Amino acid sequence: MMFSEKVVFITGGTKGLGKAMAKAFLDEGAKVAVNGRNKEAVAKFEDEFRGKNILAFEADISDYEKMNHIADKVYSEWSKIDILINNAGIVNQLMPAEKIKKEDFDRVIDVNLKGTFYTTQIFGKKMIEQKSGRIISIASQVGFFGEKGFLPYSISKSALMIMTRSIAHEWSKYNVTACAVAPGFIKGGMNEGLIKKEVFVNFLSKRTPIERMGEVNELISLILFLASDNARYINGETITIDGGMTGYNQESLLDFIMKGK
Ligand SMILES: NC(=O)c1ccc[n+]([C@@H]2O[C@H](COP(=O)([O-])OP(=O)(O)OC[C@H]3O[C@@H](n4cnc5c(N)ncnc54)[C@H](OP(=O)(O)O)[C@@H]3O)[C@@H](O)[C@H]2O)c1
């Protein structure tokens, strides 16, 4: 078992990709705590993993007091926190930049950026005290190239990459390291609805050199690797997992020139 006796906290671990991560860490022997805003999803998580080493909390990551309280509870239960996965995140309503509503922009920044940093700080302080810890944040490939319509989401995910660098620079001396992953379009989580429509799957597949969307287990393998001691020297880095989509143009200048001949 890769994570026997390790304590993992996964934000937004009650659903989607976070829940798949929770299951994978449990299968590898870890004790896993999660949170989410939706009460029913928290109860469902507890039901599904009853009898395993789990803790589940109803809490918004942008609620500093509540997250602080939760961190204390995890400590009083398991006495440490080895790995924090900053997974909770929301996407904005797809919209041209000039039409984005203030509430939508603020909502995405409050959760994805502020909430993630507050959570990192809360758990990070405990990791600094215990002189060990690993922080993995889920960014997004759009944080690199700024996909049209995703402006607040792209900014928030780009900021997580810089946060990861800063944390690595500041906390490595306490043996607390950080890295991030930047997934492309994965067949799960927030894309559950979208993947039911073949037209979207085909569209996204064509935009990817590898010509398909990512599988959930492909992302999970990367997370487990980055959380393991084998990846300890990877610090401050954001790893893309997008089938090569970042920076890819379906039709390159070379293709265009060749077509013209
Ligand atoms: N799926 C993809 O293709 C993809 C690609 C790139 C990056 N990502 C990133 O991967 C992460 C997980 O996404 P997903 O696809 O699994 O999405 P999802 O199915 O919508 O899951 C998001 C999870 O985060 C929780 N959450 C949202 N806002 C929260 C808040 N303020 N406080 C606490 N929990 C909160 C949700 O639970 P509640 O609603 O109950 O709070 C849910 O458990 C996100 O950060 C997303 O940006 C996903």
Specify the residue with its C-alpha closest to ligand 1, atom 15. 189
From the CA of 140, how far away is ligand 1's center (Å)? 12
Question: Ligand 1, from 48, 62, 87: best to mutate by most atoms within 8 Å of Cβ?
Answer: 87
Residue whose CA lies nearest to ligand 1 atom number 25: 12
Give the model confidence (pLDDT) of 41-93 as tens digits: 999 999 999 999 999 999 999 999 999 999 999 999 999 999 999 999 999 99
Closest residue to atom 41 of ligand 1, CA basis: 37
Domain residue ranges in the chain? 7-260
pTM value surpassing 0.95: yes
| Cβ 34 under 6 angstroms from ligand 1 | no
**pLDDT tens digits for 95-127?**
999 999 999 999 999 999 999 999 999 999 999
217-224's contacts with Cβ under 8 Å and 24+ in sequence apart are: 217/20, 218/186, 219/17, 219/20, 219/181, 219/183, 219/186, 220/20, 220/21, 220/24, 222/181, 223/21, 223/24, 223/85, 223/136, 223/181, 224/2, 224/3, 224/24, 224/25, 224/28
Q: Which residue puts its alpha carbon closest to atom 7 of ligand 1?
A: 140
Q: Measured in angstroms, how far is the CA atom of residue 16 from the centroid of ligand 1?
A: 7
- Interval 179-188 mean pLDDT: 97
Distance of CA 87 to the CA centre of its chain: 3
User: Sheet harboring 238-241: ordered strands across?
Assistant: 54-58, 31-36, 7-11, 83-86, 133-138, 176-183, 238-241
d(Cα 137, Cα 49) in Å, to the nearest integer?
24
Active site residues: 153
CATH superfamily placement of domain 7-260: NAD(P)-binding Rossmann-like Domain (3.40.50.720)
Please state the atom number of ligand 1 nearest to the C-alpha of residue 18. Answer: 16
Condensed to tens digits (0 to 9), the pLDDT of residues 204-237 reads: 999 999 999 999 999 999 999 999 999 999 999 9
Q: Given a cut of 80, is residue 183 above it in pLDDT?
A: yes
- Residue 231 in tokens: 């990846």
CA 199, distance to chain mean position in Å, is: 26
User: pLDDT grade, residue 261 (50/70/90)?
Assistant: low
Token pair for residue 207?
């935009």
